[in-house]
Structure 1
Amino acid sequence: MKAVLMTAAGDPEVLQVRQIENPAVPVGDTELLVRLRAAGVNPIDTKLRKRGTFYPDKMPAILGCDGAGVIEAVGAGVTRFGVGDEVYFCYGGLGDRYGNYAEYIVVEERYVARKPTSLSFAEAAAAPLVLITAWESLYDRGRLEAGRKVLIHAGAGGVGHVAIQLAKLQGAEVCTTVGSQDKAEFVRQLGADQIIFYKETDFVQAALDWTNGEGVDLAFDTVGGKTFYKTVPAVQVYGDLITILEPDPALGNLKTARNRNLRISLELMLTPMLQGLVSAQIHQGKILEECARLIDQGKLKIHLSNTFPLEQAAEAHRLLETGSTTGKISLIIN
């Protein structure tokens, strides 16, 4: 099969198209052989490419956590799927097993959900990681309820644009940060109630003004770095601050957060895959099932801004690393 191999850690040029052996027909009871039609491109892919995978002794690697395609074979114990089913999932691509920058992949059944019928394969492949991340952050970590006020950083980004929609579906009010007028219009169409141009405006003061000086009930940090620490005073006392990046203690401290009794949550949707947590893997599969239902009902959208053929994975990485994209990027696998 054709695959994009990461031959070493480094610049996008380390992604090389190669012909390798097809994966075997599933030998495990609960495995699926999927003919991939598209793969999502995520920031985790570019980070692993630059610094090395979680398993540096297993090289070369095939990156790509997100995939969508058609099942070609199933294990004897598979109960939920059959040959010909169209599916999407977040599985592989961390270095210990092949990822989705390829023509085929073998996937455990519990990770998989049926592809939303209203989405193309490219759109579906762009969705799993950001859907699970936003869902776990707002619903599982943040326990978001109707009537709450939420600050979402980088609302036009991959995770951010899904988070706005999930927050609105829960009945929350949303303010979000953006960097341009085009992105402001984009998040407005998603339902954002208040838009903050972070390059021109102090987002903390803007959030306090929006909440009559109290601060938001929940802040969702998808940016990291200094933004995490700067967000603390924008959250009300006893509020929630959730981040998908690891806080850097060199950039700030949690004294103000402690004084405000904030509940701080760290979200890494890769944990079930990295630690082999079966019940959490099943939960993530169910999140994708529920999101597929919402998508097909027209209540949730995935914005796919750019597609590239599989052979141009390096170009997709270059674009993502500019930090200027809206929504998601996918690789088309013909």
Structure 2
Amino acid sequence: MTRVVRFHEYGGPEVLRIEELPVAQPGPDEVRIRVRAIGLNRAESMFRRGQYLEPAEFPSRLGYEAAGHVEAVGDAVRDFRVGDAVSLVPPASIARWGTYAEQAVVPAAMLVRHPDNLDLHQAAGVWMQYLTAWGALLPVANLAAGDHVLITAASSSVGLAAIQIANHVGAIPIAVTRGEDKVSKLLAAGAAQVIVSDQEELVARVAQITAGQGVRVVFDPIGGPGIAQLAEATRRGGIIIEYGALSSEPSPFPLFTVLGKSLTLRGYLLHEVVNDAELFAAGKAFVSHGLEDGSLSPVIARTFAFEDIVDAHRYLEAGEQFGKIIVTLEDRP
């Protein structure tokens, strides 16, 4: 038997339960890993509440990211062996391959031997943040040296990854945060400028930073009515990439601003990268090289024990973290 986190109805963090289930065997193209660390994502909170793209079938597992050691391999798997240290790129289903467990069966195609300079806690939170930011900023937006990029929710793991990637290619990252408490941390993390949205007028501040031109790229996971401001802050011919829906309010389309500036408003999901073999290989190579040379370095906000998964989700939903939340697992006696 193995311990697995499941939920039997939609709701708040309190619906999560740790339950004992039989150890699953991997299919031909799957691998079972002994999970040592799990990276938490806002998508898992939304899934638990019934607000995500994929519906749950109860009782449901959940979880996109993990790192650990290979424990068993399917008959068709050739690239991994028992004992290998691996980390997981988020697979297609948050439930089918849910990683909130002591042991998890996952598709072998989504496993990576991460660079040796990462421990398993760091590796558990790598792939969602860096591949999401890489796919949006480089293949989609063609971010280049000298470009200004506006990054909202900048203290999230994906926001911090975007700052690091922007710096890696010589672009100019402008971070947006709600309060003053994270300004110094964002500057230390590589932001060229920080806009405090609760105290500053975003459009005017962007104009000041960019000498009136506006940013060429916006990278936003929030949506909602703020899209209108983001469009105003974008330069002619620029692109706004929406990769999330954190706002609970409607997202009106800023038609006249988009028309007047010839803007592109682009929805984006990580699966665009994962489902394209060439993009996937390029993204993994970019991230791996960046992790090896230190230009990319995951920031861990806080770690929780597996037994404290409810508290970890409460902390996730509070939205005050700076970086990635990691849940750790130890072998039971």
TM surpasses 0.5? yes
> Which residue in the other structure is 2:193 paired with?
194
Is 2:291 the partner of 1:295?
Answer: yes
> Which residue in the other structure is 1:205 paired with?
204
Offset, 1:93: 8.5
> Which residue in the other structure is 2:27 paired with?
27
The 8 Å contact of residues 63 and 100 in structure 1, kept in 2 or not, is answered as yes
Ranked by relative contact order (alpha carbons within 8 Å, sequence separation 6 or more), the top structure is 1
Alpha-carbon distance in 1 for matches of 2:295, 2:225: 33
The 8 Å contact of residues 229 and 254 in structure 1, kept in 2 or not, is answered as no
Alpha-carbon distance in 1 for matches of 2:210, 2:66: 40
Alpha-carbon distance in 1 for matches of 2:321, 2:263: 31
**Superposed CA offset, 1:125-161 (max 9, x none):** 1221111111111012111111211111122111110
> Which residue in the other structure is 1:268 paired with?
269
> Which residue in the other structure is 1:7 paired with?
8
The 8 Å contact of residues 233 and 256 in structure 1, kept in 2 or not, is answered as yes
The 8 Å contact of residues 113 and 286 in structure 1, kept in 2 or not, is answered as no
Q: Counterparts of 1:139-158 in structure 2 under 5 Å?
A: 139-158=138-157
Shift in CA distance, 27/251, structure 1 to aligned 2, threshold 3 Å: closer
The 8 Å contact of residues 231 and 254 in structure 2, kept in 1 or not, is answered as no
Alpha-carbon distance in 2 for matches of 1:101, 1:311: 11
The 8 Å contact of residues 92 and 100 in structure 1, kept in 2 or not, is answered as no
Alpha-carbon distance in 1 for matches of 2:76, 2:279: 19
> Which residue in the other structure is 2:238 paired with?
239
Question: Which is worse superposed, 307-316 or 287-296?
Answer: 287-296
Give, as a single letter, the amino acid of the residue that structure 1 aligns with 2:141: G
Alpha-carbon distance in 2 for matches of 1:99, 1:316: 16
Is 2:310 the partner of 1:314?
Answer: yes
The number of aligned residues is 327
Offset, 1:27: 3.0
Offset, 1:265: 1.6
> Which residue in the other structure is 2:72 paired with?
73
Offset, 1:108: 1.8
Alpha-carbon distance in 2 for matches of 1:102, 1:113: 19
Question: Which is worse superposed, 314-323 or 87-96?
Answer: 87-96
Shift in CA distance, 293/79, structure 1 to aligned 2, threshold 3 Å: farther
Alpha-carbon distance in 2 for matches of 1:84, 1:162: 29
Is 2:133 the partner of 1:137?
Answer: no
Alpha-carbon distance in 2 for matches of 1:53, 1:262: 27
The 8 Å contact of residues 91 and 107 in structure 1, kept in 2 or not, is answered as no
Alpha-carbon distance in 1 for matches of 2:89, 2:45: 16
Offset, 1:80: 2.6
Shift in CA distance, 323/256, structure 1 to aligned 2, threshold 3 Å: same
The 8 Å contact of residues 151 and 216 in structure 1, kept in 2 or not, is answered as yes
Alpha-carbon distance in 2 for matches of 1:289, 1:250: 35
Offset, 1:117: 2.0
Offset, 1:233: 1.0
The 8 Å contact of residues 155 and 177 in structure 1, kept in 2 or not, is answered as yes
Question: Which is worse superposed, 177-186 or 305-314?
Answer: 177-186
Shift in CA distance, 90/139, structure 1 to aligned 2, threshold 3 Å: same
> Which residue in the other structure is 1:258 paired with?
259
Offset, 1:50: 0.9
Alpha-carbon distance in 1 for matches of 2:112, 2:134: 15
Alpha-carbon distance in 2 for matches of 1:160, 1:57: 27
Q: 1:324 aligns with which of 314, 320, 332?
A: 320
The 8 Å contact of residues 64 and 94 in structure 2, kept in 1 or not, is answered as no
The 8 Å contact of residues 91 and 107 in structure 2, kept in 1 or not, is answered as no
Q: Which runs of 5+ in 1 are unaligned?
A: none
Alpha-carbon distance in 2 for matches of 1:138, 1:272: 12
Give, as a single letter, the amino acid of the residue that structure 2 aligns with 1:245: G
The 8 Å contact of residues 93 and 100 in structure 1, kept in 2 or not, is answered as no
The 8 Å contact of residues 149 and 219 in structure 2, kept in 1 or not, is answered as yes
> Which residue in the other structure is 1:109 paired with?
108
**Superposed CA offset, 1:178-226 (max 9, x none):** 2344421222122211111111111111111111111111111122212
The 8 Å contact of residues 154 and 177 in structure 1, kept in 2 or not, is answered as yes
**Superposed CA offset, 1:55-78 (max 9, x none):** 656321111101111111223332
> Which residue in the other structure is 1:284 paired with?
280
Q: Report the identity percentage.
A: 30
1:35 is paired with a residue of what secondary structure? strand
